[in-house]
Amino acid sequence: MTQDEQKRLVAREAVKFIVEDAYLGVGTGTTANYFIDELAKVKNRIKGAVASSILTAERLKGYGIPVIELTSVDEIPVYV
């Protein structure tokens, strides 16, 4: 299994840890990008996301996932 295949697998597994109807944190990098790709398939299960970078925010918004500021949430139950 290549490194990219491993990252995709990790991203698919990480989606299983999403807390329904909550905001989640999303980091930056290739694994985070794969996670965003998977998250887009279940975006109706979350309120939105806090992004760690402008690039991450743009990718999330590109999939129609609401992006909010960290100061706007009380907690982030999952950060990938």
Domains of the chain: total:
1
Task: Name, in order, each residue with C-beta under 8 angstroms of 64's C-beta and a sequence gap of 6 or more.
Answer: 40, 43
CB contact at 8 A, 35 and 15: yes
Q: Is residue 78 part of a domain?
A: no
Q: Is residue 79 part of a domain?
A: no
Closest CA to 23 of 53, 54, 1, 50: 50
Please state, in angstroms and as integers, the Cα–Cα distance from residue 9 to each residue in 3, 18, 22, 27, 58, following that order.
Answer: 10, 15, 23, 17, 23
What CATH number is attached to the domain comprising 65?
Answer: 3.40.50.1360
The pLDDT averaged over each successive group of 10 residues in the chain (80 residues) is: 95 93 96 97 97 98 97 93
Please state whether the predicted TM-score (pTM) of the whole model is above 0.85.
Answer: yes
The helix (run of H) or strand (run of E) holding residue 59 is: helix 54-62
